[in-house]
Amino acid sequence: MCLAVPTMLTEKREDHGTVELAGVSREVSLLLVPEAQVGDYLLVHAGYGIAVLDQGEAQRTLSLLNEIASASLDT
Amino acid sequence: MAQKVMIEPVTRIEGHAKVSIILGDDGRVERARLHVNEFRGFEQFCRGRMFFEMPQITPRICGICPVSHHLAAAKAADAIIGVTPTHTASLLRELMHMGQVVQSHSMHFFELAGPDLLLGFDADPAKRNVVGLIEQQPEIALKGVMLRKFGQSIIAALGQKRVHPEFAVAGGVNSALTIEARDTIRRDLAARIEDAQAGIAIAKAWLNEHQDYADTFASFPCGYLGTVAEDGTLDLYQGKLRLIDCYGNRLEEFDPADYLDYIGERVEDWTYLKFPYYLKLGWPGGVYRVGPLARLNMCSGIATPLAHEEWRQWQQVNGGKPVQGTLYYHWARMVETLYALERTAQILEDPDVMSNDLYVPSDQITRRGVGCLEAPRGTLIHDYRTDPDGKLIDVNLIIATGHNNWAMSRSVEEVAKAYVDGTRLTEGMLNRVEAAIRAHDPCLSCSTHAVGQMPLEVTLLRGDGEVVERVVRG
């Protein structure tokens, strides 16, 4: 299953930045999302920010992912 | 036994591509495995929800190509309510899909594959990324940015909300194309077609110059699966699934709704991701690939003139037989980008595209629906079963990365056989393992982070399981 988890942009340096989720930070390229601002949520693929999500969108996705993560599953 | 599986979203931005290379008694590479330990259980999670929620839920899970899942889910939902969407609704969905294809393919080619091809596999890893590419050939990286933006603008024009479209619904779509949106898309088409052609030229020049390499790098026989229109030409949105063998013989052509009669899913204990295969040839004889390489191999032509001309050249690579070299994916990806742009122009010229005949209502519940299309990475199948009220009781998704699961391991194996001398894992070999996996453009967490370099964990093992060497990179 593929994946794209919203991560928050915490630092921006020209076309590079740092995103963070639950204490894990990653360097990403902002080449494809030059409009991204610190505090925005980004979808990241292969080290590139590929989309900027608004707060509501990001929260809806994160809560859905958390719901899945904590579901009891038969293995 | 029911076991609680906790997989936090954060694990999906971590993780390495885990590869095992297993040596035979003679000390030579015998086989290789790509372990996929992604989260699973999404199908179970969907049970109990209403079928019409799926076009909204699935794009949130699979955010790399949200439109593909959005549309496959909507197509499955059409079938559940027993409706064939109007011509206008189909055109608009396909238009959105073309936006996704352009966006996804061009990003892969210019931003991910480009540095490998243009800067070389043995280039300094610190430079073998888009930053290095921008320094050396800024105009090429820019074409990727422009194409991606263009694809995104089509999705935005139809989907209102850019990232997670709420556009396709069971029975059709919920908004018409505006004249302004149509004209904006049209205005930039010619320039983007030139960008795609520039990408094709880069891919072809590279393959030409490195032909021996490309013909042997991760090259192996297998079947190829993709979707064709009535006349056998490539179709990325709808049609029949066609499966060919490694010689190009047609094995099957079938309605995607009947996929269970043709495709089985093998489970192995060393990876979470299942292995689809062609039932009649069994496992592992019935393995096949999907995606751009597979599609150009299995179709009988392309219904747009510029892309068709490229396809004719493609056919000559291996004397009319399927092209096996994994690096040819890159050329195929750009030919499909060109097709998607030309197809966008065709759709916008269709007299029905501006109509308001968007939706067919229904109060039926047929209790089963299969939605299938060609996502950028390959064939995507959503299969839902519901109770009489439309509540989901079973969900099966086969994603492109799943169809290519066997091929990715096999590609690594081919690379390992060529570049592992039995005891050492070199940096150049790791770069090539990465390139072999990445050519399939998998949507795995290992491919979702780290600019320019896929985090890799490669273990070299003897047949008895003893570890000879383990290298972790990234």
Contact A46 B8 (CB under 8 A): no
Q: Is the CB of residue B349 less than 8 Å from the CB of residue B159?
A: no
Best of B58, B64, B456 to substitute, by most chain A Cβ atoms within 10 angstroms, is B64
pLDDT digits (tens, 9 = 90+) for A10-26: 999 988 899 887 777 88
| Angstrom distance (rounded) from CA B39 to CA A70 | 12
For residue B5, the model assigns a pLDDT of: 31
3-state DSSP: chain A helix, strand, coil percent, rounded to 5? 20, 45, 35
For residue B108, the model assigns a pLDDT of: 86
Amino acid making up residue B462? R
Residue of B nearest to A31 (CA): B145
* Residues in chain A closer than 8 A to B445 (CB atoms): 3
* Residues in chain A closer than 8 A to B12 (CB atoms): 3, 5
Contact A3 B130 (CB under 8 A): no
Domain boundaries, chain A: 7-69
Of A5, A31, A48, the CB nearest to B13: A5
Q: Which two tokens stand for residue B120?
A: 């070389």
Which stretches of chain B drop beneath a pLDDT of 50?
1-14, 446-452
Question: B319 burial class (0-12, 13-18, 19+ CB within 10 angstroms)?
Answer: exposed
Q: Is the CB of residue B219 less than 8 Å from the CB of residue B283?
A: no
Residue of A nearest to B272 (CA): A1
- Structural domain total, chain B: 1
Instruction: Tell me the nearest-neighbour CA distance from A35 into chain B, angstroms.
Output: 12
Residue-number span of the structural domain to which B33 is assigned: 9-42+413-473
Three-state secondary structure call for residue B101 = helix
**B422 within some domain:** yes
Instruction: Tell me the nearest-neighbour CA distance from B27 into chain A, angstroms.
Output: 34
Best of B65, B408, B448 to substitute, by most chain A Cβ atoms within 10 angstroms, is B448
| Angstrom distance (rounded) from CA B188 to CA B334 | 18
* Residues in chain A closer than 8 A to B113 (CB atoms): none
Amino acid making up residue B318? N
Question: B299 burial class (0-12, 13-18, 19+ CB within 10 angstroms)?
Answer: buried
* Residues in chain B closer than 8 A to A57 (CB atoms): 161, 163-164
Contact A44 B449 (CB under 8 A): yes
Residue of B nearest to A29 (CA): B451
* Residues in chain B closer than 8 A to A74 (CB atoms): 2-3, 44
* Residues in chain A closer than 8 A to B153 (CB atoms): none
Of A4, A5, A73, the CB nearest to B5: A73
Tell me what the pLDDT averaged over chain A comes to: 79
Say how many residues make up chain A: 75
| Angstrom distance (rounded) from CA B131 to CA B126 | 9
**B196 within some domain:** no
Instruction: Tell me the nearest-neighbour CA distance from A41 into chain B, angstroms.
Output: 12
Residue of B nearest to A25 (CA): B13
pLDDT digits (tens, 9 = 90+) for B365-405: 999 999 999 999 999 999 999 999 999 999 998 989 889 99
Contact A64 B57 (CB under 8 A): yes
ipTM of the complex: 0.76
The H or E element containing residue B379 is strand B378-386
For residue B55, the model assigns a pLDDT of: 94
For residue B12, the model assigns a pLDDT of: 42
Q: Which CATH class is domain A7-69?
A: mainly beta
Chain B contact present for A38, CB below 8 A: no
Residue of B nearest to A63 (CA): B9
| Angstrom distance (rounded) from CA B1 to CA A74 | 7
For residue A2, the model assigns a pLDDT of: 41
**B449 within some domain:** yes
Model-level pTM?
A: 0.90
| Angstrom distance (rounded) from CA B134 to CA B152 | 22
Contact B161 A23 (CB under 8 A): no
**B423 within some domain:** yes
Of A3, A24, A68, the CB nearest to B45: A68
| Angstrom distance (rounded) from CA B370 to CA B80 | 8
For residue B6, the model assigns a pLDDT of: 32
Contact B13 A66 (CB under 8 A): no
* Residues in chain B closer than 8 A to A50 (CB atoms): 64, 107
Of B6, B62, B451, the CB nearest to A2: B62
**B116 within some domain:** no
Sheet containing strand B29-35, strands side by side: B29-35, B17-23, B456-461, B467-473
Three-state secondary structure call for residue A34 = coil
| Sequential DSSP letters for B438-456 | HTT----GGGSSSSS---E
Residue of B nearest to A70 (CA): B6
Chain B contact present for A56, CB below 8 A: no
For residue B57, the model assigns a pLDDT of: 87
